[in-house]
A and B are shown apart, each in its own frame.
Chain A
Amino acid sequence: MDSFQQVLFKLKSYWSERGCVIQEPYDVEVGAGTMCPETFLRVLGPKPYNVAYVQPSRRPADGRYAANPNRLYKHSQLQVILKPSPDDVMDLYLGSLEAIGIDLRKHDIKFEEDNWESPTLGAWGIGWQVMLDGLEITQFTYFQQCGGIDLDVVPAELTYGLERLTAFLQGAESVYDIEWAPQVTYGDVRLAEELQFSVYNFEMADVATLWRLFELHESECRRLLDAYPGYEHKHRFPVLAAYDQVLKCSHLFNLLDSRGAISVTERVGVIARVRKLAVGVAQAWIDQSSREAAA
């Protein structure tokens, strides 16, 4: 039986052998692997790019004080981007399941319609949730739009839920029982974190401070985006730093949401504010990279 980390190793080497850059997790909080610049920005424009990385994804509202066997504040996604999507992308994907020891001839695999959409990122795609014996293990998406921009090249995005997949492989009833490494459980590694962040996210995070931080990051991003058009040496302009500010805003929004500080009415407005930043960054990125390509 493979441990959690062995499953990760195997998936990474599988995709590495198929031409992917293996990246490390991005070091700013994100709600999903899609939000990392390696996906959000790289899918824009015509340049091919294949990448895979494990991304811890934080969703404050999903925290359950480490008391629910299936839900986590922070879970791990394996994010794979194949741009452009190869014709045999589905076979490649199924091959990755075999690589971690799933005998597909003995299991029930279904691709059920599930179109992905992120209003915060101005992004959407067409695809499926992949069901393995009734368990959703992967989101499979053909990106159509990102940052409000129609994509020139259609990438395939594969997002594996690593805890679920490993729990399935190990027959673990609770995510905390997963064997992370020999003699070490997932609970040993992460339980305290789940509990403490649930307490912080739901009870102790200071709403006024979070709003203040949100506005600081928003205005910093705004300031950079406003400076871009007049900046002379475009290639050295910190578009990537502006994008970090977007990610900060997005995470703070999620925190405020889990604190119950955002009413449904406000919600739409705040999402629109973050999207506006994301769209601005995407446009600057496209502009910057098209100049580089021309140079």
Chain B
Amino acid sequence: MKTLPFLLEIGTEEIPDWMIQPALKHLGELFEGLLKDHKLDGKVSMLEATPRRLVLMAEGLPRRQPSSVELVTGPPKSAGESAAAGFARKLGVEPAALKTVRTPKGEYLAFKKKVQGRATLDILAAELPGLILKIYFPKTMYWTGKGGPRFIRPIRWIVALLGSRVVSFELAGVKSGNVTRGHRQLGKQKIRVTIGNYSSLLRSNFVMLPAWERRLTIQSQADYLFEARGVYVRPDAALLDTLTYLTEYPATLVGGFDEQFLNLPEEVLVTVMRHHQRYFSVYHPDETLAPYFMAVMNAPDDPEGLVRQGHERVLRARFNDASFFWNVDQQKRLDGRLPDLAHVTWQAQLGSYREKTDRVVALVKELGGSAHAQRAALLSKCDLTTGMVKEFTELQGVMGGLYARAQGEPEPVWRAVYEHYRPASMEDKIPSTREGCLVSLADRLDTLRGCFGIGLTPSGSKDPFGLRRAAQGVVKILVEGKLPLPLSKLLGENAELREFLLDRVRYYFRDVRGFKYDEVNAILAAGWDDLADVESRLAAIQAVRPTEHFEPLAASFKRIRNILRQAEFAEAGEVSEQLIEEGPERELYNAFRETSGRVRSGDLDYREKLAAIAGMRPVVDRFFDKVLVNAPDGSVRRNRLSLLGRLLAEFSVIADFSEIVTEGT
């Protein structure tokens, strides 16, 4: 049977760049769901988007749903002929066409009704309006008025074609059709399309539909810059992504700025260019900043240089502002700004940044921070009162570090201030020095304790104080900074906070570090007060797990746990040598004593300890094969349970083996 291709283009006003890719993915899933729900073949063959359009193509759609047979059940056979005639009449068939079916309730009249499949065109026309409005966006709006449809931005046109036919429907006053629009300024605003010529007609109207092509256009022009001028554009994947979804027909331009601005810190210049103007920074081969920038415009070229001049003017004004702040801010020393922090609220119930600073300094001291670390903690929030940070908030911390350096603070101090907001994400680096790690840690712990203390806990997607990120930072710093600090002491008594942090610990080791979930559970069940130690134990279990004896032994430990639970045997007493039977029980006892001696001695690392424990598997197996734990003699039984209990307790210090998922359990 001949199948049909399908095209859907949702034409909108400019969608925020960062929402486009997830929306497109969701559109694809919704459409595949629609096909499945209606028993239609076909698959999505293309998902593309620009700021003004979400586009889906599919292929292999049938003209109609397959026909099906539906069994319609009528009255019981015993109801007599007139009931049968009535049933047949309702169906519009002869009574002779009725069949009898057996059901648990007796014999019933029934009819096998052929149901003709609906036309795909009709199904799509009925379903697409609802499907489009189901696409998830983080924030939506009304545009036709209160109670009207909600979408990310107003929908202005819709192209919907199945083969050569329009899938006809109406949404928010927009009728679907076969007419698209080109680039806002450069293309035609009424373009009749078919599925076959859709992409190429868009292109000739200055819309480069495939995102990869827009991306490549930007990137290749960046590469060319190096050949032409000997300077290079530093790759910036996030910015490239933004610009790819902010343009329909991108091209780059290279502008310059006055070299005098290079006296400003590179961080300031790059932030202004990247965050405020969305420009790529340009560097010399020796990694120093060059007085150029690369901008991306939503147009193919700039023959008269008008666009370039415009961008250069804007950047000059921005740099002038930054330069003004840099000079004015330095008229007041950082430590002179401490009293001003009393007027900056951190959180209404938790007081000002001045108070937070005092707590952070005390905590850094408590964590064993040096005088430098304490000084850094004291200065860490002072930049919040500088003009530069008020203007460019993303420079908080960094500016404090730069001002501290300019004002002669020693390197361990200014660097710790500079880096104390790290890690900003799971991908970000932790502070590079111990001082920086301690300040960052203390700052986050103070935030967590304070917010949990007054019940400001994150719920669902709401996390206004960034507590998840704060907790993740704590975990990352403790592990990767190899700081052997006791979490129980750092977190205090708040059970909710402990649970919250444990969640982040799990997330970190599983999702960020890629450890198996049962290994993480096994290790955490044996304690997680020292996260650096958790990491060592995890690495050990990961290494030992593939060895021959490990998983069988883990299964045996689970068995021991069950035996003890069934026997309701809580306290393992001393094991009495006299009650031990020669043979497998004695062997197990000896192996236990010998292994626990080795495990307790400081000579082995975790891997070797786990290997030694795993090595007990043959004796454990033999014990269970030959020895009856539930011995008729009560004292012998208790002694055996004690032996197993001690074995379990002794060897669960590194990991709780019964958490390991093994085959057959």
Contact = CB atoms under 8 A, between A and B. Distances in A.
A1 to B, nearest CB: 15
B142 A154 contact: yes
Contact of B13 (A111, A151, A154): A111
A109 interface: yes
Contact of A108 (B17, B298, B345): B298
A69 interface: yes
Most B Cβ at <10 Å: residue of A69, A87, A115: A87
B326 to A, nearest CB: 14
B131 interface: no
A236 B311 CA distance: 53
B246 A144 contact: no
Max chain A C-beta neighbours (<10 A), residue from B145, B186, B295 = B145
B141 A151 contact: no
A92 interface: no
Contact of A134 (B185, B310, B324, B344): B310
Interface residues of B, number: 46
B14 A263 contact: no
A233 interface: no
Contacts of A133: 297, 306-307, 309-311, 314
B297 A126 contact: no
Interface string B352-387: 100000000000000000000000000000000000
Interface string A121-135: 000001010001111
Contact of A111 (B51, B307, B321): B51
Contacts of B324: 68
Contacts of B145: 84, 151-154
A264 B14 CA distance: 35
Contacts of B304: 106
Contacts of A90: 13, 184
Given A108-B307, A111-B51, A150-B146, A134 B277 contact: yes
B130 interface: no
Contacts of B97: none
Contact of B141 (A68, A87, A135, A144): A144
Contacts of B309: 133
B186 A113 contact: no
A109 B612 CA distance: 69
A94 interface: yes
A104 B185 contact: yes
Given A135-B314, A154-B142, A126 B153 contact: yes
A154 B304 CA distance: 40
B642 interface: no
Given A69-B317, A108-B298, A108-B310, 10 more contacts: A90-B184, A94-B185, A108-B297, A110-B298, A115-B139, A132-B310, A153-B145, A154-B141, A173-B313, A265-B352
A139 B117 CA distance: 51
A241 B277 CA distance: 43
A108 B251 CA distance: 10
Given A70-B321, A173-B313, A152 B141 contact: no
Nearest to A268: B348
Contact of B310 (A70, A111, A135): A135
Nearest to A167: B313
Interface of B: 13-14, 16-17, 51, 139, 141-146, 153-154, 156, 173, 184-186, 246-247, 277, 295, 297-299, 302, 304, 306-307, 309-311, 313-317, 320-321, 324, 343-345, 348, 352
Name, among B302, B317, B343, the residue most crowded by chain A CB atoms within 10 Å (CB to CB): B317
Interface string A88-114: 001000100000000011111111110
Nearest to B157: A87
B505 to A, nearest CB: 34
A106 B14 contact: no
A142 interface: yes
Interface residues of A, number: 39
A233 B310 CA distance: 57
A109 B51 CA distance: 13
A85 interface: yes
A264 B310 contact: no
Given A133-B311, A263-B345, A126 B141 contact: yes
A263 B295 CA distance: 40
A132 B343 CA distance: 38
Interface of A: 68-70, 84-85, 87, 90, 94, 104-113, 115, 126, 128, 132-135, 142, 144, 150-154, 168, 171, 173, 263-265, 268
A142 B310 CA distance: 28
Contacts of B343: 263-264
Going nearest first, the 5 A-B pairs with the smallest beta carbon separation are A133-B310, A108-B297, A113-B16, A111-B14, A264-B345
Contacts of B173: 87
B141 to A, nearest CB: 4
Contacts of B306: 106-107, 133
A48 to B, nearest CB: 11
24 contacts: A68-B321, A70-B317, A85-B143, A90-B13, A90-B184, A106-B304, A106-B306, A108-B299, A108-B302, A109-B298, A110-B247, A110-B298, A134-B311, A134-B315, A135-B310, A142-B142, A144-B142, A151-B146, A153-B145, A153-B146, A154-B144, A154-B145, A173-B316, A268-B348
A15 B141 CA distance: 26
Nearest to B17: A113
A285 to B, nearest CB: 17
Contacts of A108: 295, 297-299, 302, 307, 310-311
Contacts of A265: 345, 348, 352
A12 B348 CA distance: 46
Contacts of A152: 145-146
Contacts of B14: 111, 113, 128
Given A106-B306, A152-B145, A154-B142, A264 B311 contact: no
Contacts of B153: 126
A128 to B, nearest CB: 6
A94 B13 CA distance: 13
Given A106-B306, A133-B307, A142 B143 contact: yes
B99 to A, nearest CB: 58
A126 B306 CA distance: 30
B172 to A, nearest CB: 10
A134 B274 CA distance: 12
A142 B320 contact: no
B307 A107 contact: yes
A266 to B, nearest CB: 9
A142 to B, nearest CB: 6
B185 A105 contact: yes
Nearest to B295: A134
Contacts of B344: 264
Contacts of B321: 68, 70
A81 to B, nearest CB: 15
Contacts of A134: 277, 295, 310-311, 314-315
Nearest to B247: A110
Contacts of A115: 139
B246 A110 contact: yes
A175 B348 CA distance: 40
B390 to A, nearest CB: 10
Contacts of A87: 154, 156, 173
Nearest to A88: B156
A112 B185 CA distance: 16
Contacts of B139: 115, 126
A13 B246 CA distance: 32
Most chain B Cβ neighbours within 10 Å, of A90, A112, A134: A134
Given A128-B14, A133-B306, A112 B142 contact: no
A164 B173 CA distance: 37
